[in-house]
Amino acid sequence: MVSKMFKLRKPRPGRAQRAFTLIELLVVLAIMATLLTLVVPRYFQKVDVARENVLRQNLYAVRDAIDKFRADTGRYPATMDELVNRRYLQSLPRDPITERTDSWLLSRPTEGQGVIDLHSGAEGKARDGTPYRSW
């Protein structure tokens, strides 16, 4: 009885086996390629938008920490590491365009020392045409 349950059926003679033809496979691949040409550019555009938004948020957070440091101590931080050591930042944020933490461009005051602002060190321009370095 057990052998009857697991017995494989043999195809009946004269009956064609069902399978996909080469034409059907090519049509499916063509449809997939067409859909990919529509989706992939939009995906990369959204990735660029997300990176720019993260850059804006990182710049805002660091600039806010610099302002709070100045309000608390009466001076600007000497280095970005001082903001981290004094717990104004958990860690120095990563520039999402360059994907590095050491590419930030620091602005120093005309008199005295310290860091009053920072900008992205990324080459190139944002989607709105402004250079990343001017943010």
pLDDT value of residue 25: 94
Q: What percent of the chain has pLDDT over 70?
A: 87
Query: Given its phi and psi angles, is residue 87 left (phi above 0), alpha (psi -120 to 50 degrees) or beta?
Result: left
Query: Is 127 in contact with 49 (CB distance < 8 Å)?
Result: yes
Distance CA 8, CA 59 (A): 67
Distance CA 88, CA 66 (A): 8
Q: How far is CA 90 from the centre of its chain?
A: 20
pLDDT value of residue 2: 57
**Which residue, 54, 62, 72, 73, is CA-closest to 116?**
62
Mean pLDDT score of the chain, rounded to an integer?
A: 89
Q: Where are the beta strands (DSSP E) in the chain?
A: 105-107, 117-119
pLDDT tens by residue, 63-78: 999 999 999 999 999 9
pLDDT tens by residue, 8-20: 666 666 666 678 8
For residue 110, what pLDDT band results from cuts at 50, 70 and 90?
A: confident
| Residue 130, both tokens | 């402004």
| Residue 109, both tokens | 């005051």
What average pLDDT score do residues 122-128 get?
90
pLDDT tens by residue, 47-63: 999 999 999 999 999 99
